């Protein structure tokens, strides 16, 4: 039985990893800047040890990691910026090395090691490079595009008008993964350190075109959803970073060996996009008031 510290435990990837580890019988230290939040309370209810930790407070990181066996590390530029993500990620890696942890599993992004020129991929890759030289056993898992994003933001706004608004051509394939599968794979890697140490693995559970996604969403929501390609110039007015990402998805593609992952690691219980869509509470999501932009 492991004691695993999980950063971003109240977010999508960290929360999914914490739940997968708890289900497998491991001890979880759920690290968060907001230990009194509803998400933190939910993790406590599942048996997690919720602790305060701040990436910009080295003392809090050291205290939170002391005595743990391993770390699941997630960083994000959203809400800060890419420079902050790199700085905080490096600080987290340094704290893990100082605590002499037996394994650090860092979640990055598929293709982040391929010179994408996507700002929030490049910042993650700088953290990856730092981890490789930190002197601690490591694994990098690199998820493809998140299915969970299709139940929020501009996608959800579009679905209220029976439109799947997405900045890619209708027939361009994209590899996808839900947070639940990221968490399940991360838990597998943490349980099997010797098999995964020193490896970087792009992960995804399905490949879909926007046209196919629209059809699946139509079936799941019971609405006549059709794909509408959002111009990249429109995305660029909101975020140059996201525009660069969608341009990469369209021009280069985000290929991941989905079939190989399903064959080699069936215990993850990989979800297709249809599986994921069927599990969402679309009635509640679509009836909720749109979030302000």
Instruction: Encode pLDDT of 75-120 as tens digits.
Output: 876 566 889 899 999 999 999 999 999 999 999 999 999 999 999 9
pLDDT in tens, 218-262: 999 999 999 999 999 999 999 999 999 999 999 999 999 999 999
Q: What is the DSSP annotation of 177-191? A: E-HHHHHHHHHHHHH
Average of pLDDT values for 194-206?
98
Q: Which residues pair with 52 in a beta bridge?
A: 32
Report the pLDDT value the prediction gives residue 138, as an integer from 0 to 100: 98
pLDDT category of residue 126 using cuts at 50, 70 and 90: very high
Residue found under tokens 């140490």: 197
Antiparallel, parallel or unpaired: β 174-177 and 206-208: antiparallel
């Amino acid at each position: 039985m492991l004691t695993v510290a999980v950063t971003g435990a109240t977010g999508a990837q960290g929360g999914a990893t914490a739940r997968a580890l708890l289900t497998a019988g491991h001890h979880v230290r759920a690290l968060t800047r907001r230990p009194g939040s509803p998400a933190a309370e939910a993790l406590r209810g599942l048996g997690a040890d919720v602790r305060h930790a701040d990436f910009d407070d080295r003392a809090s990181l050291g205290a939170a990691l002391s005595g743990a066996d391993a770390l699941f590390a997630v960083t994000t530029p959203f809400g800060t910026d890419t420079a902050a993500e790199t700085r905080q990620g490096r600080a987290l890696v340094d704290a893990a090395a100082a605590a002499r942890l037996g394994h650090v599993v860092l979640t990055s992004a598929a293709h982040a090691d391929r010179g994408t020129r996507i700002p929030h991929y490049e910042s993650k890759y700088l953290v990856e490079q730092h981890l490789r030289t930190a002197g601690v056993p490591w694994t990098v898992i690199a998820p493809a595009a998140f299915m969970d994003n299709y139940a929020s933001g501009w996608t959800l706004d579009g679905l209220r008008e029976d439109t799947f608004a997405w900045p890619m051509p209708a027939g361009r394939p994209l590899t996808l993964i839900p947070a639940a599968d990221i968490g399940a794979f991360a838990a597998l890697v943490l349980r099997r350190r010797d098999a995964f140490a020193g490896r970087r693995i792009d992960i995804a559970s399905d490949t879909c075109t926007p046209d196919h996604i629209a059809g699946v969403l139509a079936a799941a929501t019971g609405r006549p959803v059709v794909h509408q390609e959002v111009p990249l110039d429109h995305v660029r007015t909101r975020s140059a970073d996201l525009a660069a990402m969608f341009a990469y998805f369209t021009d280069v593609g985000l290929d991941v060996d989905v079939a190989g992952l399903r064959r080699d690691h069936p215990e993850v219980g990989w979800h297709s996009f249809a599986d994921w869509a069927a599990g969402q509470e679309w009635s509640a999501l679509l009836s909720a008031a749109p979030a302000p932009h």
